[in-house]
A and B are shown apart, each in its own frame.
Chain A
Amino acid sequence: DVKVTQSSRYLVKRTGEKVFLECVQDMDHENMFWYRQDPGLGLRLIYFSYDVKMKEKGDIPEGYSVSREKKERFSLILESASTNQTSMYLCASSLFRGYEGGGTEAFFGQGTRLTVV
């Protein structure tokens, strides 16, 4: 079974703190993703990474950065946490395939509910 593990289920941080959310996958997937989930908005992509040290911005990257130093680990960094970053954060991973190569179903971690006070 694919396992995607996020380091914390719940976090409470203060405004202005630097926050690290960690994600580890054990299936040797090339792709890793960070999504943010808010009621009524679905899941919105913050950043994704398709290889070690490679990253691309998603739809809402402002206020976030990422790090991928090893294939199995993808970190999301809130440089200076703000209250509007209070949300559920979901990490996911998937295999890389060329477009003709089949599906790229993503597997999700259990989520981190971050509250910024």
Chain B
Amino acid sequence: ELKVEQNPLFLSMQEGKNYTIYCNYSTTSDRLYWYRQDPGKSLESLFVLLSNGAVKQEGRLMASLDTKARLSTLHITAAVHDLSATYFCAVDGKSGFSAGGTSYGKLTFGQGTILTVHP
């Protein structure tokens, strides 16, 4: 059974500081997604990482994937208040349905990291 663990679960940062959120997963996968959720809202896709060594950047956020270590990181550079949200990673594990290992996009999510950026 695929398990996905994020840490930290709570992160309080000062504006201007850097920090990293970690996402570890338990079985082989080379597809990982990061989502953002604002309070009371649904999930918004941030990054799609589809291979070992993939790195994506958008503004102050950068995500990377190391499939050998089964680890993805979401790095925050010079945090600003607008980045306050909950961040989820999700891993697309091979479905057991098909002997050929066809993926159905069955995503297993981490617990989420609640990020608060203070002035």
User: What CA separation (Å) do A107 and B47 show in the bound complex?
Assistant: 12
Q: Is the CB of A99 within 8 A of B103?
A: yes
User: What CA separation (Å) do A15 and B21 show in the bound complex?
Assistant: 39
* Given A41-B111, A56-B97, A103-B48, also A98-B106 (CB < 8 A): no
Q: Is the CB of B102 within 8 A of A94?
A: no
User: What CA separation (Å) do A14 and B6 show in the bound complex?
Assistant: 35
Q: Is the CB of A103 within 8 A of B50?
A: yes
Check: A83 CB closer than 8 A to any chain B CB.
no
Q: Is the CB of B42 within 8 A of A90?
A: yes
From B43, B102, B111, A98 is in contact (CB under 8 Å) with B102
From A35, A44, A97, A107, B45 is in contact (CB under 8 Å) with A107
Check: B88 CB closer than 8 A to any chain A CB.
yes
Q: Is the CB of A94 within 8 A of B111?
A: no
The DSSP consensus for interface residues of chain B is loop
Query: Could you give 26 example pairs across A and B, Cβ below 8 Å?
Result: A31-B105, A33-B106, A33-B107, A40-B9, A42-B110, A42-B111, A43-B43, A44-B109, A45-B106, A48-B106, A50-B104, A56-B97, A90-B42, A94-B105, A96-B104, A98-B102, A102-B50, A103-B50, A104-B104, A105-B48, A106-B33, A106-B90, A106-B105, A108-B42, A108-B44, A110-B41
Check: B108 CB closer than 8 A to any chain A CB.
yes
User: What CA separation (Å) do A35 and B110 show in the bound complex?
Assistant: 13
B94, B100, B104 pick with most chain A CB within 10 angstroms: B104
Query: Chain A residues near B4 (CB, 8 Å)?
Result: 42
Closest chain A CB from B47 CB (angstroms): 10
Closest to A104 in B: B105
User: What CA separation (Å) do A42 and B103 show in the bound complex?
Assistant: 22
Query: Chain A residues near B33 (CB, 8 Å)?
Result: 103, 105-106
Q: Is the CB of A90 within 8 A of B50?
A: no
Closest chain B CB from A71 CB (angstroms): 15
Q: Is the CB of A99 within 8 A of B94?
A: yes
Within 8 A of A (CB), among B1-36: 4, 6, 9, 31, 33, 35
Closest to B32 in A: A103
Closest to A6 in B: B42
Closest to B43 in A: A108
Query: Chain A residues near B94 (CB, 8 Å)?
Result: 99
